[in-house]
Structure 1
Amino acid sequence: MAKPNLLRLQDHDQITKELSFNIYDICYAVSEDQRRRYIEYIDEQYDADRLTRILSDVAEIIGANILNIARQDYDPQGASVALLMSERMLGRSSTATHVDKSHITVHTYPETHPHTGLASFRADIDVATCGVISPLKALNYLIERFESDIVVCDYRVRGFTRDIKGRKHFLDHRINSIQEFLSRSIRQKYECFDVNVYQENLFHTKMHIKNFQLDDYLFEAKADDLSFKERERIKALLSHEIQELFQGRNIA
């Protein structure tokens, strides 16, 4: 007997929910050697093996079974991982539903500026699910795991499902903003801005770090070893870089 608060469907839930990130981490490496070592450090910290562990955790958080994993490290830098998933069915020893409709992917892009000493690490992440599992459950975990300075996040609901009366449903849960699913600690840490298109079931949130300590952004250096003038110059560079990446355009 169906629970009274659940919508009875003609078949399984065929709505696709996709959560997409551009996540940026910013750093300052003064010399060419330091910038090279920064890229090496990022490639070691976020190689295909570690990315696989992170995405496997995501699958566990949202309640999905992993069907297949493809991963690759690249030369000179970067890595990619893709997980094919299925919905976990309670009370069964195995699953065979949504075999080719749910996935998680991540691609990394370490990068350095040739002159200023600025360096950045970008990760593009997509979590797409069908059925009752929701990618929004992994939202906070992914933001915290990549220690992000900037997060550009999209949540899109596609397709429809049909109830037993034949009526189409284009959204299977309530949502007004991605921010509703952020933890309190993340909301306190970031400035968040929404650009939502409700009639298209498209939700867009941009976030940037509110405050930063210079030591957290210096690679192989300490702020106390720099002059006041040099510290202020680097802070201005970092702030400008964060604003450009956040706004997605060059700022004079």
Structure 2
Amino acid sequence: MGDKLKLYGFNNLTKSLSFNIYDVCYAKSSREQKDYIAYIDAQYNSDRLTGILSHVVEMIGAKVLHISQQDYDPQGASVTFLIAEGSMIPAGQDAVVAHLDKSHVTVHTYPEYHPDTCLATFRVDIDVATCGEITPLSTLDYLIGSFDSDIITMDYRIRGFTRDMEGKKLFIDHYMTSIQNYISEETLHRYDAVDINIYEANLFHTKMLIKEIDLQNYLFNTDVYELPPRTRLAITDSLRCEMIEIFSGRNVY
């Protein structure tokens, strides 16, 4: 963010980061698909998701006001944090938090499987909405590393305006060209990344697709050496086709 801007009054800019990840897995039978869904559901239950969001809130320097979490039957979980910038919380038991109590962090999980292709997909949606000087972009490497991310789509939008000391409207309070600038080179090296940005609207979109497929990492309860070479190739092609369709957002094959 650099040096703080000198503003006339409060920073009314709202910054929203939408972060979606997809993890694809091959499970050779309907039973294994269901076992995979159960495994993912247990690994990323609401308690673990709460821990991940707690660290996100700590990273952006906000303060937790309220936490709501829920696990679902047959699968999935949701967690919502109501947050505020620490400096905006007034002293006193009866005081009311203003402005930034509208900031929040949410996560929702969507495990699912395709009965005809032996593929299962785990989707996670995370939204971080902040107001004022807080920006959620610094959390991207942590969020990517917290999940097995094969396909990632990210949207960052700045809304509203604030004013400088001369009264000039400011529609953005930090220099911004791409979401990729806030992701480490080490992380970016593992993905093919594409930007679609609308600078005049302060709207930034980046999507990323994993470059290399290590087949063993995508097999559930199966060792890669148990499979003949042609089967390995067919599974790899099936995984790549699924990833490309999710990445492109359309049915290609």
TM-score for both structures, normalised by structure 1: 0.94
Contact 2:67/2:81 (8 A) holds in 1: yes
TM superposition shift of 1:101 = 2.0
Cα distance between partner residues in 2 of 1:115 and 1:99: 47
Give the distance between the partners of 1:122 and 1:197, measured in 2 at CA: 26
Large movers: runs of 4+ above 6 Å: 92-95
> What secondary structure is seen at the aligned counterpart in 2 of 1:221?
coil
State the TM-score, normalizing by the size of structure 2.
0.94
CA RMSD, aligned part only? Answer: 1.7
Deviations 1:45-87 (A, max 9, x none): 1111111110001000111100001111111110111100000
Cross-structure match for 1:81: 79
Alignment of 1:237-252 (within 5 A): 237-252=238-253
What secondary structure sits across from 1:196 in the alignment? Answer: strand
CA gap of 1:77–1:6, structure 2 versus 1, over 3 A, is closer
2:230 aligns with: 229
Question: Which residue number in structure 2 is paired with residue 67 of structure 1?
Answer: 65
Opposite residue 167 of structure 1, the aligned amino acid is K
> Shift of residue 99 of structure 1?
3.8
Deviation readout 1:140-185 (Å, 9 max, x if unpaired): 1101101200001100000111223221100000000000011111
Q: Match for 1:53: what amino acid?
A: G
Which residue number corresponds to residue 15 of structure 2?
A: 17
SS in 2 for 1:83: strand
* Matched length: 248
- In 1, are the aligned partners of 2:100 and 2:131 still within 8 Å (CA)? no
1:1-252 equivalences in 2 (<5 Å): 6-89=4-87, 96-252=97-253
Q: Distance in 1 between matches of 2:132 and 2:36?
A: 41
Residue identity opposite 1:151 in structure 2? I
One-letter code aligned to 1:242? M
